[in-house]
Amino acid sequence: MAQAARAGAQARGGSPDDSWGGVSPDAARRLLVAAVEAFAERGFHATTTRDIAGRAGMSPAALYIHYRTKEELLYHISRVGHDRSVRLLSEAAEAAGPYRERLAGAVRTFVRWHAEHHTTARVVQYELSALGEEHYAEIVGLRRRSEKVMRDLVAAGAEAGEFAVDDPRATALAVLSLCIDVARWYSPGRRTPEEIGAFYADLALRMVGAAPR
């Protein structure tokens, strides 16, 4: 199955935005990648369906064979991105070991994803308001799940005595906020996603008052 092979390549982290290897048919995937790039550059409302189709090497009408509306394209991107976010955070939070390691792992992975896939992440994090009402509500639900994962992790670490925080809820939201904003400012060059992830993991440990390693 081509999908499984592509999922493997994706897990290893290939070219800048290969989050969409599993999407088929080919034309639908090309349109999705084109939409991600266009939405990230100019925003959803400033992007025309002609632009998306053009980037994918197709006519404007071809878009509507694979997606019912422009908004559905955004929803697809947003949905996949938020699913990924929840999964990355959850897996790190449920790992074995001390809470400081779990938090560091969660932040490192989450930040690395935001840097590595910064075009996708930019759309996922900053184009929410362009979603239709129902889609928006669904995505907000996923965001609450991410927030809960981080909140529970910080609270657990605090109760275990590994963290020293006055307000676990606010601290968790601040850590998440710091990670998310990476999608806004990151651009390739100065430092690798891996390096930024490691640096941010250290910052997060400082924020929760974990003893320096």
- Binding residues for DNA, rule: CB under 7 A, are 25-27, 47-50, 53, 57-62, 64-66, 68-71
What SS3 class is residue 148?
Answer: helix
Q: Are 193 and 112 in contact (CB under 8 A)?
A: yes
From the list DNA, a copy of itself, none, partner contacted by residue 191 (C-beta under 5 to 8 A by kind): a copy of itself
Residues at the site binding a copy of itself, with contacts judged by CB under 8 A: 41-46, 126, 129-130, 166-167, 170-171, 173-174, 177-178, 180-182, 184-185, 191, 196, 199-200, 202-203, 206-207, 209
Q: Are 35 and 52 in contact (CB under 8 A)?
A: yes
| Shortest reach from residue 6's CB to a copy of itself, in Å | 31
From the list a copy of itself, DNA, none, partner contacted by residue 59 (C-beta under 5 to 8 A by kind): DNA
Single out the residue of 39, 11, 28 nearest to residue 64, CA to CA: 28
Handedness of CA 84, 85, 89, 94 (dihedral sign): negative
From the list DNA, a copy of itself, none, partner contacted by residue 129 (C-beta under 5 to 8 A by kind): a copy of itself
Neighbouring residues of 174: CB distance < 8 A, sequence distance ≥ 6:
207
